[in-house]
Amino acid sequence: MMSASKWIVFVCLITCFLKCSGSEAKPGDNFNVQCQGPRDADSDTVMLKWIRPDLKSEGYVFYFRNNQTQKDYQHPSFLGRVELRDPQMKDGHVSVILKNVNVNDTGTYECYVGIKGSKPQLISTTKLTVRDSEINAKPGENVTLQCQGPRDADSDTVILRWIRPDLKSEGSVYLFKDNQIQKDLQHPSFDGRVELRDPQMKDGDVSVILKNVNINDTGTYECYVGNKGSKPQLLNTTNLIIKDSGDAAGHSEDGGDKGKQGRLRVGLLVGIAFLVVVVFGVRFKMYRRSSQQNHQPPADEAAEHELQDLNPEPSKKLKEEEEEPPVET
């Protein structure tokens, strides 16, 4: 029989397994954060709180009460980006859609549900991971660095900054402010090679096109977006890798790596073969020595036979003496 304490631990583990989930998304995706409340819950009576524990002191991810969203209590970074998947909450469906996710949305989301007059209870926990983007390109190509800003962003009020952290001290990849490009603050290597994909930034599209890429453009690119009066926030990180398949040096380097791997494999096989031969040889030598010892008579027995050959048995000698006729006098 399972003790009460073991039952409690078992139930807790099963509950955590059922309630806790983890998901991944890419920057710019819309992400469904799942939660199932009581079947009899509806928008008139339910109290719904979505929180991120690390941001709880600054506001809710989503707060619904008295049949409306309580935006005054919402965290600024989630304003305009979270909505109920089913506004009627049919059958207790209290999942929400988190729009246009970015790297800052990585974290744990907790869903609390209650009915008027009762304290909201934790129903589910979701772990969201927003992965960096990765782009592979060849020299000479044009590359689009994706970034999605707020839907209400426009070129008149937005502050957009693309940087490469390793070159940050020398200037930005692209800096847009006061409705124009700030070329004086741009890194020389990107001058004339970066432009907005949509000059109007429709629906918050702040992606840029990097033209005629080269090997030196390999690196990590970060997109920061803000409005006048607010500090730009990191929204997206993109890892750009430039590979030239026709470059002889590249072939040499790849070939060298493959050659090294091949030599390592050959060396390993030779070493294993040598070890097998040595072990087999030692075992065979031990076997032969054992066989020879089994076929040889013991040393004491051999010595005894040798002595018997040199000295006849005493009884036989005595018998021979008795059989000799007496000597006549």
CB 152 within 8 A of CB 80: yes
Which pTM does this prediction carry?
Answer: 0.58
Under CATH, which number does the domain 133-242 receive? 2.60.40.10
Q: What is the pLDDT along the chain (329 residues), one digit of tens a residue?
A: 445 444 333 334 444 444 445 688 888 889 999 999 888 877 778 899 999 999 988 899 999 998 899 999 999 889 889 999 999 898 889 999 999 898 889 999 999 999 877 889 999 999 999 988 899 999 999 999 999 888 777 777 899 999 999 998 889 999 999 889 999 999 999 999 999 999 989 888 999 999 999 999 999 999 999 987 788 999 999 999 999 866 434 443 344 444 444 555 556 666 777 776 766 677 777 777 776 666 555 545 554 554 455 455 554 444 444 555 555 54
Q: Which residues contact 137 (CB under 8 A, 6 or more apart)?
A: 143, 213, 240, 241, 242, 243
Continuous segment of H or E residues that includes residue 17: helix 4-19
Tell whether domain 18-130 is in CATH 2.60.40.10. yes
Fold agreement between 18-130 and 133-242: yes
Q: In 10 A of CB 296, how many CB atoms?
A: 10
* Domain segments of the chain as ranges: 18-130, 133-242
CB 67 within 8 A of CB 45: no
